[in-house]
Amino acid sequence: MRRLIILLAAAIAVCSCSVSYSFSGTSIQPDVNTITINYIEYRALRVNPSLSNDLTEAIRNQFRRMTRLEQVDRDGDMEISGEVTGYDISAAAVTADEVAARNKLTVTVKISFSDKKHPEEDFDKSFSAYAEYDSTNTLDAVESSLCAEIIEKLVEDIFNASVAQW
């Protein structure tokens, strides 16, 4: 009998929880139905003409695939906006001759997330991701594949911070 009461109490506690969890790992409040994902502006000094568009579309696709939220052009219950603030190349590994053996492309994005119905979830945060490449290659030769890899990492981090809360 005691076990039954404990089990019943646990079931009630779980059912009364106000956060909606899904198999995709999101924790979106049940009263949140829409999201606005604004174009991610490009503000980095080094130019990559397609990065902003590719990143914006990747974020939109992730939310489309992984949440029940309807995407709206403006006034969504949740809103994501941001800007690419860094697009930098640095040496990742140096040889004995002090020559770069591997280079690293790093992209930094500043994201603002707001939840109009639950403002305690709001944040302004920078996310950064990188990919390395062999210095025998030029950046032009590997840039598109590096950016795809970096965008994937950034989208996962932004998604987790906003609706998965990991």
The answer to whether residue 114 sits within a structural domain is: yes
**Contact at 8 Å (CB) between 34 and 114?**
no
Domain containing 153 equals: 31-164
The answer to whether residue 1 sits within a structural domain is: no
Q: Tally the domains of the chain.
A: 1
- pTM comes to 0.81
pLDDT digits (tens, 9 = 90+) for 47-89: 999 999 999 999 999 999 999 999 999 999 999 999 999 999 9
The answer to whether residue 146 sits within a structural domain is: yes
Q: Tell me the mean pLDDT in the region 123-146.
A: 95
The answer to whether residue 11 sits within a structural domain is: no
Lowest-pLDDT range of 16-25, 80-89, 98-107, 128-137:
16-25
Give the bridge partners for 77, in sequence order.
Answer: none
The answer to whether residue 111 sits within a structural domain is: yes
* Those residues with Cβ within 8 angstroms of residue 52's Cβ, 6 or more apart along the chain or in another chain: 39, 40, 41, 42, 84
> Distance of alpha carbon 19 from its chain centroid, rounded?
21
